[in-house]
Amino acid sequence: MFHRIAALAALFAISVFAQELVQDPAATVLPAAPQAQAELAQVPELQPDLSDSGVLRAQDNMQRVRSLISHGAVPLVRYQRALEGIEDAKDMSILHKYLYSKDLLPEQAEQLIRIAQRMLVRRKADMERMRMLASSGVVSRSEAEATDADFELAQNELQLAQTRAMLIQQIAESLRIERALASIELQVELHPEWVGTVYTKYDGRGVFTSVDRDRIAGAFMARFAKSMPISADGETATHKAMHFDHRGRIDVPVSPDQPEGQWLMQFLQVNQIPYFAFRTAVPGKATGPHIHIGPGSARLGQAD
């Protein structure tokens, strides 16, 4: 009897602790900086799908548990688990709905991680609680062991959310770089004074072909034992939106002052392939050094 009372007391403590963690996700996530918090506040919060079959089942289970408890058929601990089951189902509906959504923002991807984390915390607390109850004979050992699988599932969901968030952030960063590099190239015609400072130009034979592209990529791989980075390959949606003809051209995000950039410019000159080498970021623009391979577009040509 004493062991059962001790187990129930410990159970109550774990339940309170789990509720605090669930109600305060920051307890399991490093707090964001003030500026980041302000940015997150402007991002729409992901909402659960209340019509999700899992949510509906969890709500039906809650009604069933309430009825059984009122008749003394099951212990009160079932009520706590039913409550957490509803929260789990809501969180799972968000993960299933948005984990592979094409419209997910990078900031919303961070929300997915926090949702998966709080679900993991709940399931860990449930697993530990059920182990205590099983050791005191309140629940069966097989029922307690079933919570291990729930915990492992939550771990997998968290890993998926983290991977998805990383991928979305990488895509967003690539688009940011693409827009920034397109912006600087578009402004060249308005700033002839940039020649020799912000960028240098080599006309070569005025032609850049797909054969040249493959030859450059192969030589870069042979020289540096890695693929040549390309931030924009031909006409992209960004260039189209800016009315900027980038067909038959590529942008390589390497600095002309670094070994990779110096080697690339030398290779292009030896093979008489035209390029624009942007050495420094444009004042007031979030743009970095890069090498535009290929002839200038109509816009760039006006700056000659």
Q: What is the pLDDT of residue 222?
A: 94
Average of pLDDT values for 54-80? Answer: 89
Name the token pair of 268. Answer: 């292009």
Q: Which of 125, 141, 176 is the last residue of a domain?
A: 176
Same domain? 202 vs 170: no
Domains: count for the chain: 2
Q: Which of 114, 149, 176 is the last residue of a domain?
A: 176
Average of pLDDT values for 211-238? Answer: 86
Biggest alpha carbon–alpha carbon distance for the chain: 92
Same domain? 292 vs 221: yes
Give the integer Cα–Cα distance in Å for 146 and 276. 62
Same domain? 20 vs 64: yes
Whether the pLDDT of residue 127 is over 70: the answer is yes
Same domain? 144 vs 283: no
Q: Which of 80-84, 117-121, 200-204, 221-225 has the lowest mean pLDDT?
A: 200-204
Instruction: Classify residue 184: in a domain, yes or no.
Output: no
Query: 13 or 108: whose pLDDT is higher?
Result: 108
Give the integer Cα–Cα distance in Å for 49 and 55. 8
| Range list of β-strands (E), the chain | 199-202, 232-233, 250-252, 275-278, 290-293
Whether the pLDDT of residue 259 is over 50: the answer is yes
Q: Which of 114-118, 141-145, 197-201 has the highest mean pLDDT?
A: 114-118
Same domain? 170 vs 23: yes
Same domain? 219 vs 167: no
Q: Which of 34-48, 155-169, 194-208 has the highest mean pLDDT?
A: 155-169
Same domain? 83 vs 120: yes
Average of pLDDT values for 122-139? Answer: 89
Give the integer Cα–Cα distance in Å for 287 and 250. 16
Whether the pLDDT of residue 301 is over 50: the answer is no
Whether the pLDDT of residue 264 is over 80: the answer is yes
Burial class of residue 297 (count of CB atoms within 10 Å of its CB; 0-12, 13-18, 19+):
buried
Query: 252 or 35: whose pLDDT is higher?
Result: 252
Mean of pLDDT over the chain: 77
- List the domain range (segments joined by +) for residue 208: 191-301
Query: 29 or 281: whose pLDDT is higher?
Result: 281
Whether the pLDDT of residue 60 is over 90: the answer is yes
Name the token pair of 218. Answer: 């192969």
Same domain? 132 vs 214: no
Give the integer Cα–Cα distance in Å for 86 and 23. 14
**CA distances, 14 to each of 8, 10, 150, 171, 227 (Å):** 10, 6, 17, 40, 52
Same domain? 155 vs 228: no
Same domain? 226 vs 127: no
Instruction: Classify residue 183: in a domain, yes or no.
Output: no
Whether the pLDDT of residue 126 is over 60: the answer is yes
Q: What is the pLDDT of residue 232?
A: 76
Instruction: Classify residue 224: in a domain, yes or no.
Output: yes
Sign of CA dihedral 222, 227, 228, 232: positive
Same domain? 208 vs 100: no
Whether the pLDDT of residue 91 is over 80: the answer is yes
φ, ψ of residue 290 to 5 degrees: the values are -165, 170
Same domain? 222 vs 155: no
Burial class of residue 230 (count of CB atoms within 10 Å of its CB; 0-12, 13-18, 19+):
middle
Q: Which of 176, 205, 240 is the last residue of a domain?
A: 176
Query: 242 or 268: whose pLDDT is higher?
Result: 268
